[in-house]
Amino acid sequence: MSILKVSRLGHPVLREKAKLLSPAVLEKPEIQTLIDNMIETMFEYHGVGLAAPQVHESLMLAVIESEGERGRIPLTVLVNPVVTLMEGEMIEDWEGCLSIPDLRGRVARHARLQVEALDRRGKPMKFVAEGFFARVIQHEYDHLMGGVYLDRMGDLHTLTHLEEMKRYWMPEPEPSEPER
């Protein structure tokens, strides 16, 4: 497996709608290798999701996994996803992107959504995602549609470098009382 070069904001591949993958193309060894390499690249750069356009491939393909403090998301490969936003709460939270390194911003996203897609073997899947999983899916889906999280920011005043976010935006932990 290989670590792939991540496309950065300004590269045209990030601003075009990705192409659908047919089941016959999905079966090809080079596509399966691409999926494996995308997963390895996502892990290498400590991402929770990666869309094919982010590795210079204009294909409707994304990988997602998280074990972090925002919750566990099992390894999920989405091929040709169709996302249906569900009525209800919007949640604003911090987002970053491997294609826009060292920046973060607050983005409002739907708390729940329905996803229909193929898995890496071409098997259809349909599920409802909530919370952080729903946020990550929306972020990666935006990449497949030619967008980035900056396009979704309602207020650019929260756009910040990662180090400045940690310094000025993140609350200091409350000191705990000593045990008696």
Catalytic hit among 30, 57, 140, 172: 140
Angle at 85 between CA 83 and CA 87, to 5 degrees: 160
Catalytic-residue membership of 140 = yes
Task: Locate all alpha helices (DSSP H) within the chain, ordered by sequence.
Answer: 23-26, 29-44, 131-144, 149-152, 162-164
Burial class (CB in 10 A: 0-12, 13-18, 19+), 110: buried
Residues labelled catalytic: 140
